Structure 1
Amino acid sequence: MTPVQINNIDHAALRVHPRGGGAFGDAANQALVLPAEIEEVQREFAVVFRRRGAELKAYALLGFDADENLFLQDDRWTSRYVPATHRRGPFSIGVSPGGEGTPMIHVDLDDARVGDPDGLPLFLEHGGNAPYLEHVSGVLRLLYEGLQTAPQAWAALDEAGLLSPVTLSVDVSEERRYTVPDVLVVDVERLAALSGEPLEHLHRSGLLRLAILAAASLGNIQGLIARKRALLEQA
């Protein structure tokens, strides 16, 4: 892995292919998601929470088996939305060793998508960012800001008592059952019973809406089951 900071002199002619695939880390049965993308995510994926040490993280469920992404077909996603952690491709945000200064876009020169002649340009012929680089910049901005705000956002839902630990049991067929252990979901009954200052605080902060969206997203598990069944029928 060789991340370098992008500039319009050294990388004026550089092209990057936006394709995905298992070779680029897309073959995973869950994807980290952030507060700013929950509205888009919940339209397509079920959102669950997991404790990682002392911190809560939110994930979109992508499959049931290990390394299974039911929304991935060859080198492209079949979902209408792709989580930002996967949409960033070979790009990342880098800051100075001391953590000071403006975060800058870096690209991994060892990634097979970088330098692909069929890829998209990063810069316009006569200067300025090309549309693809503008898109990448927006994705990285979402990630950079979201990774800083997510811990406090999810902790607030937990402190309000809205997250309940569950083990999801999913019957794909009469012979095949999957369990998704050690997850937390937004408890609809606790959400409905919320009142007073906790309710007001979550409403003012915008987190109440995120909790409602995350709770509603669990209906997408049925769509995930349908994708798994279709895959098994093809085998």
Structure 2
Amino acid sequence: MSSHAILTADTHRDLRIRTDRAAELGDDMMMALAVPSEFRKLQLDYPILFRLDLDRDKFTAVALFGFEAGENLFVSNGHWDAGYRPLSVDIQPFLIGGRRDGFEAKQVHIDMASPRIDRDGEGVRVFDQDGRATPYLERVSAQLCELDAGYQDYAGFFEALRRHELLEPLTLDITLDDGSANRLVGFHTIDEDRLRSLDADALGELHLSGYLLPIFMAVASIGNFAKLIARKNWRLRHG
């Protein structure tokens, strides 16, 4: 169960965070939420897919790490084997929250129940001995701001995708080297045929809104399925 608290130097002066990577630290995830502003970086390593929440009738974007629940093919031996981690992963166990007094300024919160809270004094410090933010916390704070800004633009991005009918369901059948058959369902991708058919006005609108680049990055990311399958086959051979 989560235990969120506002991060303060007075309360968390000696707080340390584990930054290594392992399933027991919460990295046993098949996917993570992503925002369009980071698609350019994500598309170098991960397939970028879209999921529809039927109850809320809303889409979210995700970076895919594996093919089954709890599978992360990028984590091994305490490391994350990719040049970039999604912001929603890299900021943990921190999050951004609104102020109780109703003002617009937001604050950094921390989940004190997270397994990343280091109890042995060997993790990365959040504040220095004088109560100042360490470079680690400054980096996380910047990432939280970037992630929050990305979420603010979520509705506009997906409204544009729906308006131009650019999302189509994905069904991916995979046969692994051990002969096992796997099927990936429940996701959407960019409809490339529909994208190619858009006229200049529609493309211009998407470009001016800042949505055309992440759309193309999502299309390019589908090529990473071959690399993800290769990771899966390697894991099957080597454990």
Range with bigger deviation, 73-82 or 201-210: 73-82
Distance in 2 (alpha carbons) for counterparts of 1:182 and 1:113: 30
Once structures 1 and 2 are overlaid, which stretch shifts more, 207-216 or 150-159? 150-159
Aligned to 1:102: 105
CA-based RMSD: 1.9
Alpha-carbon contact 2:24-2:115 (below 8 Å) kept: no
Q: Distance in 1 between matches of 2:93 and 2:170?
A: 35
AA at the equivalent of 2:18: H
Is 1:190 matched with 2:191?
Answer: no
Matched, 1:14 2:15: yes
The number of equivalent residue pairs is: 235
1:51 positional shift? 0.8
Aligned ranges for residues 22-33 of structure 1 at < 5 Å? 22-33=23-34
Equivalent position to 1:204, from 193, 208, 232? 208
Relative to structure 1, the CA distance from residue 29 to residue 115 in structure 2 (aligned partners, 3 Å threshold; closer, same or farther) is closer
Mark the CA change 1:27 to 1:197 in structure 2 (over 3 Å): closer, same or farther: same
Shift of the alpha carbon at 1:99? 4.7
Q: TM-score, normalised by structure 1?
A: 0.92
Cα deviation, 1:106-158, whole Å, max 9, x if unaligned, reads 12223333244111122233453211001110221122222221122122122
Structure 2: gaps (5+ residues): none
| Identity across matched positions, percent | 31
Return the letter of the residue paired with 1:146. G
In the alignment, structure 1 segments of 5+ residues that lack a partner are none
Q: 1:87 aligns with which of 78, 85, 90?
A: 90
Structure 2 equivalent of residue 129 of structure 1: 133
Residue 142 (str. 1) matches residue 146 (str. 2): yes
Q: CA deviation at 1:31?
A: 1.4
The answer to whether structure 1 residue 173 and structure 2 residue 177 are counterparts is: yes
The corresponding residue for 2:52 is 51
Moved over 4 A (4+): none
* Contact 2:26–2:115 under 8 Å retained in 1: no
